Structure 1
């Protein structure tokens, strides 16, 4: 027979697959299949639900399409170069089999997020409305389901199922947050999961857990508060019926061993159930050891049993005034990034598997901190941060534009309350964000700093009332920086201003300007596959980006040096709490239609589909404990220069020592020294031969050896202006062909610095992998080192692919793709 702790551990693991933060119960079903969608408004709810006699289903309107949830209105049009992304209403409909296992129980639809305004209907009855695209909320459909079920004619038309309709609307509205001036799309749709939830009549409504410890972790204090909901029919005349129910609670250690089992008194729905106890030397939660305890609650009565799981962790943290950040009594440099809910081909509608893959990438990069910008994100992300060991700054979407009226302010208060109440049990969260760039006017005719200060002060006080254990924070609103506990000014050394070698002085000024400082948002854009041969010193480059040119050349060659410089400086700043670079992944934005990839903010270290850029490995070389080695230039197939001209080769690695080989000849060993810029001393000047070259690096880490190799061509021929486009095709693994458009001069020589916009066409538009917002998935894209590419799906061949420069000044080209 299995020990009790193993049984409980297995039980908790299975429950965690279903349990979510909003309604604590194990009876949840994700509603992913059998949905229909139409991207427009309908004349009435009756038009949505209107039955067809004898067919037992709503009328089939030609434009309705079958979809799987999560689903986003703007999965592709957010990065379509020819249109503004759709902002307006859209409808979803389905039918549900409702079978509540609990006697006199309740039935809910739980929304993990839907954008941006949502109305919910059971048949033609409107049940609820919600404003806000990023918080979780639930709708009690119990009574509406009962009412609909009493009409046998209606029930029969839908095959005994309950018809559900949901209207989402992301129309522009200056009296809603976030502002449409924000540098990200305000997506529409059911882009997070919806759950069908069953509860007994008496069930937990909210579970608050406060797990605290002293700085050295000698003693842990656990306080649990359970607010109950009671919908039981009162037939005894003695009260609300809670006497019939029993509640028990078990606390499990991170290894699944039971450390506490207690019965709790269930006497009133008004007063919460409270329990406290002390634990000696709890296993502390940290990025290196994300130890999670489990609270398992079981309610039994009236033939019903409900089980729910909440996980929590013990940790102690503080932002020292004019000093660093401490976790569990030790200084921890926060090594962070940012995340938007955005992915190629789906917009905001990421599946749990996609979220997990992305968060693992962030952790494998070596990050220990993340800012969720600029809105609360899926509870799945918070659970992954708990499990992986990523500290979190989470914020509400009060972002840019100014300050609206009472509805606007009420939404901000409600979303702040929801964020804290729904996510407070996550040990990963250390900062509650009140807003972002609130000094940015534009949505309203007048802009009043005093009003913004007053409202920011109100939100700050509300946050502290709801949760006194976490500090508040904002970024870039200097006239409010004294109102919150931690502040981040705007510092973009080497991108929007100054030079990256000015970073230390700018950072020091920021730390001196506020009691508790953190640096959110730094970095710059890079166009995947674009590289530069110019020497980039950080004082002045040949393309003037160091002089403050915000566009620069967008090369990966520049951005790796910018990141490199920041990271090596951060290692020698004893007062620095930490930073978060902007951003982990490229994302779509309506504000950047003429970026190299239109409508894409390209500041990510991975592309919009998760493909790493070269800069990903720069961070890994500084932050990751796992041995790694990467030669810069895997996406740089052709380098150029004069014969016998020395060219710099960079290797990013955390190995203590690396040896470089060029065409089989050793270029010597070098020791890693983070203060030897660039590449922590792992840089060589080598002679490349005309044509093909083989470059190999071997990293030495004790008995462990790591290898990396790239093959490239070296071109010494000079070139003139681009004169024509040449197309080639290369079969890729899987079901795609890569078509490359190469710009050449009148003599047929590759123009390796050309950056014309190339527009692809096809005899079957469905064959193109387009509207992905990636280097190989965009119909209109700026060339990188004279080459633009797009993928073609083999399933649509034979087709003919064409390529033009967007100004139609070059000779175009076409190529036939066959099986």
Structure 2
């Protein structure tokens, strides 16, 4: 029986909203306490202790969720990051409005092994740091509230959670992975009230042909039904992207165990989802039974995609060159514990860069990320954390199977997802005495079959495991031209070779490390040392800074200048390969890793397009100039305050822009107009040779695209004084910086004559005596107690104490006179 729009709206008004009335969910962000380390047992989390009693140790600290064990220690230059147990506890007001309803704790992700307690009762455990899961605490809460102990807690319910990221060879991901395996409640935890019969899973399969003439939406669900209720009335409503009702269904259903089909809805000419027009349909459901009413609401989209054999990628019947990057769940000062606002800022930066694709490496990520990909129009490769190390035993494999099942079940409704990743670099041994390629192949085949059985509409993929490349639908080999092997000018040749080797190719991971703020007038002086014609794959040990073949990653200067050249070349070449499906630059944001303690920012993989705090590097604007439509123009070198050379020497000045033409002005004088041509490397022809004068130089560009005019300006100092070896550090407060309770301190390396050494890259260490504290362990060039100089300089921030105070900031470096400055406030 069809319900009319009027009656549906009246019913919704009378019944209340879906989420508020049919199911209640509250984020539990406040009133948590945290203890790093273990307890002797759960009793220590809940026992009565008098204030100030010696029994009150260990001491708990107040925290808000999300929270990560490793918020700062993952990038501390002086310690291994913590891997072990940690406890959280809180008191909850439980007030379930449903008769015989269920009280649930929904975890959006917790690392890595988790146990949940109500008072002293262990309710459930979960292994796996990245998939969602639910603890049904209904019975434990009921028993506690009926116990004598309830009076002591004045009606509140004590909940304790033990998280543990202790190293474990029989758990994925491997600790050999090039990222930290974090611990803690680093994603949101929700308190959910649901009626006795409610939706446990709800799946949408939206299918359309390439032309979009017909769409089919298959709806299925599984139910949480501890009371074994046998029947209910289901009401479904489908709304188009303009929130117009497209279809309404009302029907009685039998409640079965497991997942069951609910409806098949056909549409003529559905509005298709695409990166340029991410049109989302809304599906709302209500299930009424003797238990009350359960509700559910989500979005889906209709799109058709295809990987042509040894050819391009098609979306809705048209070629789409996938412009992609990668994302780790990692951020300065919080590690994995990113808030929704932080995630949104990051995803908007990715979209505004012009990306239409992202690989979520190397694990299932937050539901917030997937929702933003849907609404922003970013296609997704998401994968399970079977990453490096080889293949473990039954426990290891069962976790991989479970996480694949959960990832597909929890994220299959998202139209943005097109690829399920089964593994990453599974050709990298080390965790086990045995490394058996045939056993790895057999397990990869098993996962591939599972993925297709659970979702027949997506493709499977892996990156860098050549002996498994024939198993999955889409394969990504290792091509690191110009960084780990070869020169970046070999990129196209190597790509064409790899495209010919597999039916469906995608290039995930390419790029270069760059130390933010480090630039070079001649960044490729080392390049003649690098052999050509030897391939461009990353091999064992290539990431290290010593040994092996000559390569940019070891012998280059890690400047933003070299990274700009490499990215510029890759992007121009990608436009010339009609058979290319697409690529994804590794990685969007700098992230922490235990494998790189010697990097310019210790323990940070610095290949990011932006820094770990989301500050864009210069390559961000190179990507924009190739990938975006909205007019933009950026003078290369905003982060390069001092250039150097001889007085009056002609210097190259570049502008990265998507505009048709641009005119450059140097100190108020026009240097001429240039036309943009993407194949005119570098900067697509928008480059000028112009002399600079000692001291300040004002650079301005006026770029035009149709009726639009875009300008950009920068002021460079130009240093003509030459320097010798650095011998002394000078510290001074940067008076131009203003911030709430923050002071900026800059260190400079000078030679014996006091001349700034613009090529100095020494490692320096900051320290503080007195009031306030230094902002350190952020994993950024300006937020690390140990850091390499960038063009002879570095900076650190001092957070002042409340009121007045005095602080002495010092900087030291091996073989140089230390610097110190005193700040009084």
SS at match of 2:237: strand
Match of 2:661 in 1: 657
Alpha-carbon distance in structure 2 between the residues aligned to 1:754 and 1:765: 30
Indicate how the Cα distance of structure 1 residues 655 and 795 shifts in structure 2: closer, same or farther if over 3 A, else same: farther
Match of 1:237 in 2: none
Q: How does 1:556-595 map to 2 (within 5 A)?
A: 556-595=560-599
- 1:163 equivalenced with 2:158 (yes/no): yes
SS at match of 2:254: coil
Match of 2:608 in 1: 604
Indicate how the Cα distance of structure 1 residues 706 and 50 shifts in structure 2: closer, same or farther if over 3 A, else same: same
Matched-pair contact (CA < 8 Å) for 1:587–1:608: yes
Match of 1:346 in 2: 334
Match of 1:275 in 2: 263
- 1:257 equivalenced with 2:227 (yes/no): no
SS at match of 1:414: helix
Q: TM-score, normalised by structure 2?
A: 0.94
Alpha-carbon distance in structure 2 between the residues aligned to 1:26 and 1:517: 44
Equivalent residue for 2:757, pick from 751, 756, 772: 751
Alpha-carbon distance in structure 2 between the residues aligned to 1:678 and 1:303: 67
Alpha-carbon distance in structure 2 between the residues aligned to 1:171 and 1:303: 42
Alpha-carbon distance in structure 2 between the residues aligned to 1:278 and 1:710: 56
Q: How does 1:130-279 map to 2 (within 5 A)?
A: 130-151=126-147, 153-232=148-227, 240-243=228-231, 245-270=232-257, 272-279=260-267
Matched-pair contact (CA < 8 Å) for 1:51–1:59: no
Alpha-carbon distance in structure 1 between the residues aligned to 2:94 and 2:367: 25
Indicate how the Cα distance of structure 1 residues 204 and 542 shifts in structure 2: closer, same or farther if over 3 A, else same: closer
SS at match of 1:164: strand
Match of 2:708 in 1: 704
Matched-pair contact (CA < 8 Å) for 2:199–2:294: no
- 1:443 equivalenced with 2:448 (yes/no): no
Alpha-carbon distance in structure 2 between the residues aligned to 1:590 and 1:639: 34
Match of 2:626 in 1: 622
Matched-pair contact (CA < 8 Å) for 1:56–1:156: no
Matched-pair contact (CA < 8 Å) for 1:798–1:816: no
Equivalent residue for 1:45, pick from 42, 46, 71: 42
Alpha-carbon distance in structure 2 between the residues aligned to 1:613 and 1:543: 29
SS at match of 1:265: strand
Alpha-carbon distance in structure 2 between the residues aligned to 1:533 and 1:5: 71
**Between 422-431 and 541-550, the greater mean CA deviation after superposition:** 541-550
Equivalent residue for 1:742, pick from 730, 735, 748: 748
Match of 1:312 in 2: 300
- 1:38 deviates by 0.5
SS at match of 1:187: coil
Indicate how the Cα distance of structure 1 residues 8 and 190 shifts in structure 2: closer, same or farther if over 3 A, else same: farther
Alpha-carbon distance in structure 1 between the residues aligned to 2:531 and 2:560: 13
Q: How does 1:210-609 map to 2 (within 5 A)?
A: 210-232=205-227, 240-243=228-231, 245-270=232-257, 272-302=260-290, 304-534=292-522, 536=524, 540=528, 548-551=551-554, 552-609=556-613
- 1:298 deviates by 1.5
Matched-pair contact (CA < 8 Å) for 1:324–1:575: yes
- 1:535 deviates by 6.1
1:177-222 CA-partner distances (Å, limit 9, x unpaired)? 0000000000000000001111111111211111100111011011
Matched-pair contact (CA < 8 Å) for 1:56–1:157: no
- 1:579 deviates by 0.4
Match of 2:681 in 1: 677
Matched-pair contact (CA < 8 Å) for 1:229–1:269: no
Alpha-carbon distance in structure 1 between the residues aligned to 2:572 and 2:8: 46
Alpha-carbon distance in structure 2 between the residues aligned to 1:58 and 1:65: 17
- 1:8 deviates by 10
Alpha-carbon distance in structure 2 between the residues aligned to 1:316 and 1:751: 56
Match of 1:236 in 2: none
- 1:60 deviates by 4.2
- 1:378 deviates by 0.5
**Between 275-284 and 730-739, the greater mean CA deviation after superposition:** 730-739
- 1:30 equivalenced with 2:27 (yes/no): yes
- 1:87 deviates by 0.4
Q: How does 1:108-123 map to 2 (within 5 A)?
A: 108-123=104-119
Which structure 2 residue ranges, 5 or more long, are not aligned? 533-544
Q: What's the C-alpha RMSD, in Å, of the aligned pairs? A: 2.4
Alpha-carbon distance in structure 1 between the residues aligned to 2:608 and 2:46: 44
Alpha-carbon distance in structure 2 between the residues aligned to 1:655 and 1:322: 33
Alpha-carbon distance in structure 2 between the residues aligned to 1:724 and 1:789: 16
The number of aligned residues is: 799
- 1:5 deviates by 12
Match of 2:538 in 1: none
Equivalent residue for 1:66, pick from 62, 68, 72: 62
- 1:738 deviates by 1.2
- 1:56 deviates by 14
Matched-pair contact (CA < 8 Å) for 1:104–1:201: yes
Matched-pair contact (CA < 8 Å) for 2:66–2:186: yes
- 1:119 deviates by 0.7
Match of 2:778 in 1: 772
Alpha-carbon distance in structure 2 between the residues aligned to 1:726 and 1:119: 52
